[in-house]
């Protein structure tokens, strides 16, 4: 362990640290909002809401740090965003105890799926170009959002774009750092950010006894397993593999996140899963030119989540002082390289480009037949096209 920490210090870089920090900011400013919506619908107290934030933060931190340190790959974990959307729809017909019970069962199933190795077999069926098309589709919305928010806050967004172009030309490795700092300064000058609203309150976990019922099993456990596997683990593993870490198995990721999920469930934390969108920030050259040193971004992503857990009581205030337009522009600019890289890889193989294009378009469309995410449907339609047009 001491040797691993020593290597971490030797491999440390500011760009990787900032990549991990950006991933946390985007997670807190986006999916966490849905989590608060679920808490509102459930009518839970401030203390219990704080416990929920503490649980998902500590869970994401532990799983991400362990996996990144063990495999020297930036493995970014977070809570199940599609599962959180599902949770909103179930309140007030489900009790908090039933929710915790469903989370525990989901974590145990994830451990079982990981141990079986079947998820890796599924991943091997998907060609690299098709996987790249899927990932380009997942990330595409962030590129669009970059220009959409320019209508709402043109001075802020276009200023950030100018900073991006200048720094990308003269200091490409630290471009996003300057964009983040510049965006913050400009938003302060425009009165869009109020630093005076900051307050620091420690997060305290609250234990909830689990309850198990057929209602929660069929209405939360099973759908949560499906949407988490298809909406996060599938695109997350594809993102890791198309980023040059093709040897990484899904088995330890599912097992470790499953174990952590069971633990945080008792404190209201929804299932911990593999991140896909925010992972793109830490898997590319922007994090570090040397792929062997990008794992530092995964470790520091976990460190920043730990800080989020410690100050869970004030996390809402901290991450709502930033204007949403700034967050959207920052995410869009940070992910430009990942979007372009995946589109290029998707079109590289002449025999597979139609399948990759179909996978890309289905994923971008956002279709969710049967409540299953467009990522899984993109995989299905892409594979059908691939096999239909393949030369035998």
Q: What residues pair up with 77 in beta bridges, in sequence order?
A: 274
For the stretch 316-319, contacts whose Cβ atoms lie closer than 8 Å and that sit 24 or more positions apart, written own/partner, are 316/36, 316/53, 317/197, 317/198, 317/199, 318/28, 318/198, 319/25, 319/28, 319/29, 319/32
Please tell me the least confidently modeled range out of 120-124, 255-259, 317-321, 364-368.
317-321
- Given a contact cutoff of 8 angstroms between Cβ atoms, the answer to whether 173 and 181 are in contact is no
Position 63 scores a pLDDT of 97
Position 355 scores a pLDDT of 92
Position 229 scores a pLDDT of 85
Dihedral (C-alpha) 75, 79, 85, 90: value to the nearest 10 degrees? 140
Position 198 scores a pLDDT of 65
> Residue 259: enclosing H or E segment and its boundaries?
helix 250-265
The mean pLDDT value for 360-366 works out to: 88
Q: What is the number of domains present in the chain? A: 1
> Chain-wide mean pLDDT for the chain?
86
Position 97 scores a pLDDT of 93
pLDDT at residue 123 above 90?
no
Distance CA 147, CA 141 (A): 10
Report pLDDT digits (tens) over 225-249: 877 887 789 888 988 988 889 889 9
- Given a contact cutoff of 8 angstroms between Cβ atoms, the answer to whether 363 and 376 are in contact is no
Task: Tell me the pLDDT band of 74, cut-offs 50, 70 and 90.
Answer: very high
Give which of 304, 302, 250 is closest to 62, Cα–Cα: 302
Position 42 scores a pLDDT of 77
The mean pLDDT value for 73-78 works out to: 94
Range of the domain at 25: 1-389
pLDDT at residue 373 above 80?
no
Report pLDDT digits (tens) over 272-328: 999 877 888 899 888 888 989 999 999 999 999 999 999 887 775 665 567 878 878
Position 37 scores a pLDDT of 65
């Amino acid at each position: 362990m001491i040797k691993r920490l020593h290597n971490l210090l030797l491999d440390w870089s500011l760009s990787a640290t900032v990549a991990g920090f950006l991933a946390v900011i985007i997670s807190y400013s986006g999916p966490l909002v849905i989590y608060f919506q679920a808490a509102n619908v459930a009518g839970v107290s401030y203390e219990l809401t704080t416990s929920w934030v503490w649980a998902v933060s500590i869970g994401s931190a532990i799983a991400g740090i362990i996996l990144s340190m063990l495999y020297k790959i930036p493995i970014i974990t977070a809570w199940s965003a599609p599962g959180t959307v599902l949770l909103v729809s179930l309140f007030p017909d489900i009790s908090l105890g039933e929710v915790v019970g469903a989370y525990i069962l989901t974590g145990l199933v994830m451990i079982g799926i990981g141990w079986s190795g079947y998820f890796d077999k599924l991943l091997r069926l998907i060609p690299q170009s098709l996987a790249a098309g899927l990932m380009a589709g997942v990330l595409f919305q962030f590129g669009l959002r970059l220009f959409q928010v320019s209508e709402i806050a043109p001075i802020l967004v276009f200023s950030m774009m100018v900073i991006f172009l200048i720094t990308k030309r003269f200091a490409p490795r630290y471009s996003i750092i300057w964009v983040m700092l510049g965006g913050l300064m400009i938003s302060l000058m425009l009165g869009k950010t109020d630093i005076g609203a900051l307050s620091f309150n420690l997060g305290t976990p609250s234990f909830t006894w689990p309850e198990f019922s057929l209602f929660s099993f069929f209405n939360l456990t099973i759908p949560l397993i499906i949407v988490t596997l298809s909406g996060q683990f599938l695109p997350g593993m594809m993102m890791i593999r198309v980023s040059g870490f093709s040897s990484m198995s899904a088995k330890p990721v599912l097992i470790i996140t499953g174990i952590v999920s069971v633990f945080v469930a008792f404190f209201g934390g929804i299932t911990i899963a593999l991140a896909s969108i925010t992972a793109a920030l830490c898997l590319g050259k922007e994090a570090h030119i040397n792929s062997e040193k990008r794992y530092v971004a995964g470790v520091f992503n976990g460190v920043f989540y730990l800080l989020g857990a410690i100050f869970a009581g004030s996390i809402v205030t901290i991450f709502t002082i930033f204007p949403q337009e700034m967050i959207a522009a920052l995410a869009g600019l940070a992910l430009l390289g990942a979007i372009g890289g995946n589109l290029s890889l998707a079109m590289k193989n002449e025999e597979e480009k139609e399948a990759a294009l179909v996978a890309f378009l289905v994923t971008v469309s956002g279709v969710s037949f049967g409540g299953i995410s467009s990522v899984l449907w993109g995989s299905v339609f892409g594979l059908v096209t691939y096999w239909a047009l393949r030369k035998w």
